[in-house]
């Protein structure tokens, strides 16, 4: 039972809070495939996808998935603007 018995915790968050996440050092998470991985040898990998990341970014994505309004803010380097500007429409950007 929550604070207000007739409302779920998600409904309470939506109604009573304004959430802002701040990511001071956002990251670009990468998934790389290395066929025939041999430890100790020189490896050539193929990037499969890149995804915006960082603690505040990840929290905002989960809140968004729960339909909880939130604002994400932080600092970006010039090279990462494109992948983060696509975050609103897609959480994963193929390479």
| Per-residue pLDDT reduced to its tens digit, 64-83 | 888 887 888 888 888 888 88
Exposed/middle/buried for residue 62 (C-beta within 10 Å: 0-12, 13-18, 19+): exposed
What's the pTM? 0.61
Whole-angstrom distance, CA of residue 73 vs CA of residue 30: 21
pLDDT in tens, 24-55: 989 888 899 998 888 899 988 988 888 888 99
pLDDT value of residue 82: 81
User: For residue 11, what pLDDT is reported?
Assistant: 76
Of the candidates 24, 23, 31, the one whose C-alpha atom is nearest the C-alpha of residue 72 is 23
H-only helix segments in 1-95 = 9-16, 55-65, 81-85
């Amino acid at each position: 039972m929550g604070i207000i018995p007739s409302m779920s915790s998600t409904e309470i968050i939506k109604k009573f809070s304004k959430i802002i996440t701040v990511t001071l050092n956002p990251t670009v998470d990468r998934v790389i495939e290395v066929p025939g991985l041999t430890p100790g040898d020189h490896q050539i990998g193929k990037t499969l996808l890149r995804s915006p990341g960082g603690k505040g970014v990840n929290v905002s994505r989960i809140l968004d998935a729960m339909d909880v309004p939130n604002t994400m803010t932080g600092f970006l380097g010039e090279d990462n603007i494109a992948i983060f500007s696509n975050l609103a429409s897609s959480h994963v950007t193929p390479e």
